[in-house]
A and B are shown apart, each in its own frame.
Chain A
């Protein structure tokens, strides 16, 4: 909790929160990091295998194999989400399964599955990017900012 919020608490609230903190089960951070490292690593390993597969068996190069690989990974993640497996992997893997592109696929498809009872337009269409929308928005915006900085540095910075 930020200090700013803590300042607004009454002494009784603060005392209680300190007491509560002692009893609270802590997130096992180190264990979670190790699990996330291996879960994320395995996902990326599968991705790498798929990329090599596209390079060796189809006419893709290192540069062009990225797109079909991402597509395939998202497809697999969507299947796993639909079968109700991905959320279990995520409970184990945490950030390891959330950060790769499969986590993004899961965020989109889980919202679609959830809201299909409200119909295709208002349900699926309206809620599809409920979770992923802010990732797209801020991802695109940060890319824009970085690209602008890069352009300025190249144009006027003489890099």
Chain B
């Protein structure tokens, strides 16, 4: 259980029995299209507002996960999740449809791993037999929330990132077959005084580095223990900066084992500037692409570090700096 100050080791090995991932049209053109369970060609998803479309993304991902596990939704005991919209309404409204007891979370783009860590903790301590955890984001709904209107002609700098339209949900259980959640490290809020909301990667990198190093120290592991250390949405700049920080701190992380979900999901030809971002980014890439690759045996042990920038449009306008957080969860499959 508690190892060090902020790491949980899950001795009961909660299992991710199934996952559900849903994406939008931009993701359908992306590099990982075949790893999604469901892709939409319409950004509106047949709804009359982007927020409703956002809600539908999560509903569908949850249904997919339940369906793939061969369960009924009444068997799901809890739902842990969140998103970026005001008062996390898309997630809450999706849980209204689902009808499961619900714990709403907010960790910005780190919500996916915040949910997985807490979910694994609940399952590990026999607090639940089946629970769902997930995160979602919708490009235009988030743009509307945090930036300018979507059709507004403002030039974005090369450090900007593209919010993923997608939802990723994992069904955790105390028994079953699948990748196991073995440990989790909860992040601290790190603020390096960055103020540019168009450079999230640069702001979040120190949080990712802090959490990864704490995880390795507290579990007394070498980075080579993991086949892959994957960050949520640092993008090109965040990844480069964090590699520099590792080098500076003497943490021997190899460049090829250190990847970023935000750089995997889209093709190079897509105009996403520095990479992808959003809670849906790490959720869809990990629960879709990466777990599929684990099941194929490409990786045995991965450490997922979802990073989040805890700002709001209001805090930015009041010239506050951008505090950031990162949560790490290790997932293992096969080979003890």
Contact = CB atoms under 8 A, between A and B. Distances in A.
Interface of A: 1, 5, 8-10, 12-14, 16-17, 19-20, 23-28, 32, 81-82, 84, 86-87, 89-91, 93-95, 97-98, 103, 106-107, 109-111, 113-115, 117, 130-131
Nearest to B158: A25
B150 A110 contact: yes
A97 B155 CA distance: 9
Contacts of B194: 17, 20
A23 B155 contact: no
Contacts of B271: 91
Instruction: Name the residue in B193, B195, B241 with the highest tally of chain A Cβ atoms < 10 Å from its Cβ.
Output: B193
Contacts of A109: 151
A75 to B, nearest CB: 16
A114 B155 contact: no
A106 B155 contact: no
A19 B241 CA distance: 7
Main secondary structure on A side of the interface with B: helix
Main secondary structure on B side of the interface with A: loop
B155 A90 contact: yes
A87 B202 CA distance: 25
B159 interface: yes
B87 interface: no
A109 B153 CA distance: 11
Contacts of B199: 24
Interface string B200-226: 001001100000000000000000000
Contacts of B192: 12-13, 16-17, 20
A115 B193 CA distance: 33
Nearest to B151: A110
A9 B319 CA distance: 14
A87 B50 contact: no
Contact of B157 (A12, A16, A27, A81): A27
A13 to B, nearest CB: 4
Given A9-B193, A91-B271, A131-B149, A117 B50 contact: yes
A5 B51 CA distance: 36
B244 interface: yes
Interface in B226-285: 236-237, 240-241, 244-245, 248, 271, 274
Nearest to B52: A117
Nearest to A13: B193
Given A17-B194, A131-B148, A23 B153 contact: no
Nearest to B143: A114
B148 A23 contact: no
Given A19-B241, A25-B159, A98 B144 contact: no
Interface in B144-180: 144, 148-159
29 contacts: A12-B192, A13-B192, A13-B193, A16-B206, A19-B244, A19-B248, A20-B241, A23-B237, A23-B241, A24-B159, A24-B202, A25-B237, A25-B274, A81-B153, A84-B151, A87-B151, A87-B153, A89-B153, A90-B153, A90-B155, A91-B156, A94-B155, A97-B153, A106-B151, A106-B152, A109-B151, A110-B150, A114-B150, A130-B149
